[in-house]
Copies of this chain bind each other. A is one copy, B any other.
């Protein structure tokens, strides 16, 4: 089993073309929905009683195990309000309301403890370190982190990385975390902290995988004519990446390279509609079809 821990949120997303209010979002949601297309996935998180039941029902209906989502009666769900500019490349945060996420003491359902694969989405690194102790003996633990934690708790982020097997991180956040402009040097630093690999995501410029053995895999992004909402692309990438590894039960370099492409593919689906809407609508076949399309696209 693959377990994803992180925020399950309500997002208000504003583009110059449309505004969607309090739709289902959150790093864990994107990653888990994405991973679940590949392999049985469970999700750990917390929501308030303002989370519409149909949102959680939509997740369950896709086979996602949502037993790990705690609802705090009378609490408010994490709410993120942001706006994109005209070309959808720059995001401005309008409001972040932590709600029930603040002070959440996560409980891992007993049956999740046996998970072979664990993904720690952009969460408090201290909480991530703590939650890891609840798992018996996962084969692969991967984490992401964001500017908020790098600026506020860099030592904890480094400590978290030292306890995980792999890091999936945005280019600019890697630079900020590593205090280093060159991405290869960033990856080396992350690996020097104890991670076996680092994947640096570069948005529309694809991603690069670096391993502790010195292997490298640069991948162009899947090409899309139109993007509707870039929210969650990176989390969906991570979900697809880990989901494929869980499906193969292997994480050698060759499987990791395929996983990077599946990550790209899932990120490309995520941005085709607001929130997780597109991801909830796709099938295994859609994913394989786009994977093949990607292979043909980059072939020469």
Give A contacts to B, CB under 8 Å.
86-87, 89, 181-184, 202, 204-206, 208, 216-221, 223, 225, 254, 257-258, 260-261, 295, 297-300
A297 touches B86 (CB 8 A): no
Known: A206-B218, A260-B300. 11 other contacts (CB 8 A): A86-B181, A87-B181, A183-B204, A184-B223, A202-B205, A206-B206, A217-B300, A218-B221, A219-B300, A254-B300, A258-B300
B89 touches A181 (CB 8 A): yes
CB neighbours (8 Å) of A254 from chain B are: 300
Cβ-defined partner of A216 (8 Å) among B205, B206, B223, B299: B223
A182 touches B87 (CB 8 A): yes
Instruction: Report the minimal beta-carbon distance from A15 to chain B, rounded to whole angstroms.
Output: 13
Instruction: Report the minimal beta-carbon distance from A294 to chain B, rounded to whole angstroms.
Output: 10
CB neighbours (8 Å) of A299 from chain B are: 257
CB neighbours (8 Å) of A205 from chain B are: 202, 205-206
Instruction: Report the minimal beta-carbon distance from A19 to chain B, rounded to whole angstroms.
Output: 20
Cβ-defined partner of A261 (8 Å) among B86, B89, B261, B300: B300
B218 touches A220 (CB 8 A): yes
Complex Cα distance, B175 from A87, in Å, reads 12
Instruction: Report the minimal beta-carbon distance from A227 to chain B, rounded to whole angstroms.
Output: 9
B89 touches A218 (CB 8 A): no
Name which residue of chain B comes closest to A208, CB basis.
Answer: B223
Name which residue of chain B comes closest to A85, CB basis.
Answer: B181
| Most chain B C-beta atoms within 10 Å of own C-beta, residue among A86, A257, A300 | A300
Complex Cα distance, B265 from A300, in Å, reads 14
Name which residue of chain B comes closest to A86, CB basis.
Answer: B181
| Most chain B C-beta atoms within 10 Å of own C-beta, residue among A216, A223, A258 | A223
Instruction: Report the minimal beta-carbon distance from A229 to chain B, rounded to whole angstroms.
Output: 15
Instruction: Report the minimal beta-carbon distance from A88 to chain B, rounded to whole angstroms.
Output: 8
Instruction: Report the minimal beta-carbon distance from A7 to chain B, rounded to whole angstroms.
Output: 29
Complex Cα distance, B300 from A261, in Å, reads 8
Complex Cα distance, B81 from A183, in Å, reads 27
CB neighbours (8 Å) of A218 from chain B are: 206, 220-221, 223, 297-298
Complex Cα distance, B160 from A138, in Å, reads 60
Complex Cα distance, B185 from A87, in Å, reads 11
Complex Cα distance, B206 from A204, in Å, reads 11
What are 29 pairs between A and B in contact, CB < 8 Å? A86-B181, A87-B181, A87-B182, A89-B181, A183-B204, A184-B223, A184-B225, A205-B205, A206-B218, A208-B220, A216-B223, A217-B297, A217-B298, A217-B300, A218-B220, A218-B223, A218-B297, A218-B298, A219-B220, A219-B298, A219-B300, A220-B220, A254-B300, A257-B299, A257-B300, A258-B300, A261-B300, A295-B300, A298-B298
